[in-house]
Amino acid sequence: MTAPQPGQPVVFRNATVLTMDDAHTVLSNADVLVSGERIAAVGPGLAVPDGTAEIDAAGGIVMPGMVDTHRHMWQTAMRGYGADWTLTQYFVYYYLQWGKIFRPEDYYAGNLLSAIEAVDAGVTTSVDWSHGLRTTDHADAAVDALESVPGRFVLGYGNIFAGAWEWATTPEFRDFYTRRIDGKGDMLGFQIAFDLPGIEGFPEKAAFDVARDLGVNVTTHAGVWKVTGDVGINQMYDGGYMTPGTIYVHAASLSPDSYHKIAATGGFASVSTESECNAGQGYSPTWRLRKYGIPVSLSNDTSVWWSADMFAAMRATLNADRAKTHDEAHEKDETLTNHFLRAEEVVDYATRGGAKALGLDASIGSVEVGKKADLVLVKNDNSPVSFPVLHPYGHVVYQAGRGEVHTVLVNGKVVKHDHKLVGIDLAAAKAKIDATIEYLKAEHGAEEWEKGMHPEIPEHEILNNPYTYRDDVSAWKESD
């Protein structure tokens, strides 16, 4: 099977289609025709123009491209390095010790691999929550990498090494926006990315004013245990900066009052369930956000632990939400007999929910005529988990994985076909990553590099067990 040529119309034949339209219509044995950048027709047995490339989607699921609303793409250069970290270890590593040594070329390498990984996994839109931009040279490198990969991206411009009120107000920042972002439309969006730890006097106000002046949204890690909490939310609220379209990343450890404020002002949550469960920002909050009516999108945070895999994000989110509701019931000596959160809703979080959070709902997020063609075909004829497809949402969340991503279109362009990336040089990306790893290792020294990956295990974990009666365990017996 050869990949469709650029500009050639494409039709998916005989798919199960999760349209993710307002009614969440699911179609069986349906076709999806793409012409130019857009979806031209959806329905059974479509007549198509001469020269249309046909993709046999029988047995597969066509769904909207997935949207990741928060990912620190530069850190993909260190894929998996922090698997055993807590958030504290992450902060020490990137904020205090080593984040500063990333050069523009390291930034480029991380972003490049991250962007390739995203489109390969069917994530057609990614927010690059780019918080290591010490100079605009780093920012140029970040955008150079994003523009070299045929995905849809939003640059969340940030810099953890200085106050947002310092860097966002500089002429260099304004010049960067004018040079690299302004006029790129829906292929390269822009947010200003910074956090509010509750500094007295609310200096971040200046950065909010820049966002307002440029007409762009702010994305902020909010509700991160003991780091960003209600004080920051109140500063934003009192200043009138909780505007519609603001994204609150994690939104885990907040008071009822803060959740009400987010809901009332048109904010969106970006939930990174694997991150919250592992790093410790607070219990992954979808169970709570539902109660306040806060719209949810999903994200993967950073590949220093996790990958760009939104199947994993959906699965983790359903797991964490259901675990919480079971546990709440058990605490009350009750049994939960019906789930509140369904697989269908989590697929919405990963697609339409992300599009809405980014203000892109008019262009992407559903399989509907007239929308931009950001599409994923989930199908793998060599996989025993590919059939039977009985509950298509459940199949996507619990059965499929990135290995089932057969074809991906972004803005009408085929970027992956028959399980292979189209026009992407993975070997060149690997060479750049190798050079970055070599540089980082040399800067750290071999011992520090190894140590960084293997933090100490704390001493106290196993409880003293009163029922132990082995002779060699004497503490309880002696007190008897």
The binding site for Zn ion (CB under 5 A) comprises 301
* CB of 131 vs Zn ion, minimal distance in Å: 8
Residues 6+ apart with CB under 8 A from 408: 65, 119, 120, 122, 124, 375, 376, 377, 414, 415, 416
By the 8 A CB rule, do 64 and 297 touch?
no
Q: Indicate the SS3 state at residue 37.
A: coil
User: Which contacts (CB < 8 Å, 24+ apart) does range 420-427 have?
Assistant: 420/3, 421/116, 421/119, 421/120, 422/3, 423/150, 424/116, 424/119, 424/149, 424/150, 426/116
Measured CA to CA in angstroms, residue 10 lies from 1, 93, 177, 258 at distances of: 13, 46, 35, 46
The token duo for 112 is: 């490049």
- CA–CA gap between residue 168 and residue 115 (Å, rounded): 25
Strand arrangement of the beta sheet that strand 188-193 belongs to: 66-71, 123-130, 152-157, 188-193, 217-222, 247-250, 268-271, 296-298
How do strand 247-250 and strand 188-193 relate by DSSP bridges?
Answer: unpaired
* CB of 72 vs Zn ion, minimal distance in Å: 6
Of 301 and 404, nearer to Zn ion (C-beta) is: 301
By the 8 A CB rule, do 104 and 140 touch?
yes
- Could you tell me the end-to-end alpha-carbon distance of the chain, in angstroms, rounded to an integer? 76
Of 301 and 348, nearer to Zn ion (C-beta) is: 301
- CA–CA gap between residue 197 and residue 35 (Å, rounded): 47
* CB of 129 vs Zn ion, minimal distance in Å: 6
Residue ranges of the alpha helices (H) in 283-425?
286-292, 310-331, 343-350, 352-357, 392-394
* CB of 215 vs Zn ion, minimal distance in Å: 24
Of 66 and 87, nearer to Zn ion (C-beta) is: 87
Of 279 and 389, nearer to Zn ion (C-beta) is: 279
Which phi and psi angles does 99 have, rounded to 5°? -55, -35
* CB of 302 vs Zn ion, minimal distance in Å: 6
Of 70 and 372, nearer to Zn ion (C-beta) is: 70
Of 71 and 416, nearer to Zn ion (C-beta) is: 71
- CA–CA gap between residue 321 and residue 302 (Å, rounded): 21
* CB of 75 vs Zn ion, minimal distance in Å: 9
- CA–CA gap between residue 168 and residue 50 (Å, rounded): 51
- CA–CA gap between residue 460 and residue 349 (Å, rounded): 38
By the 8 A CB rule, do 218 and 192 touch?
yes
Of 68 and 301, nearer to Zn ion (C-beta) is: 301
Of 196 and 375, nearer to Zn ion (C-beta) is: 196
- CA–CA gap between residue 138 and residue 136 (Å, rounded): 5
* CB of 224 vs Zn ion, minimal distance in Å: 9
Of 12 and 93, nearer to Zn ion (C-beta) is: 93
* CB of 70 vs Zn ion, minimal distance in Å: 6
Of 75 and 380, nearer to Zn ion (C-beta) is: 75
The token duo for 305 is: 């632990």
Q: Name the residue with the smallest CB distance to Zn ion.
A: 301
* CB of 87 vs Zn ion, minimal distance in Å: 10
Of 131 and 261, nearer to Zn ion (C-beta) is: 131
By the 8 A CB rule, do 230 and 237 touch?
no
- CA–CA gap between residue 289 and residue 86 (Å, rounded): 24
* CB of 255 vs Zn ion, minimal distance in Å: 21
Of 86 and 465, nearer to Zn ion (C-beta) is: 86
* CB of 267 vs Zn ion, minimal distance in Å: 17
* CB of 271 vs Zn ion, minimal distance in Å: 11
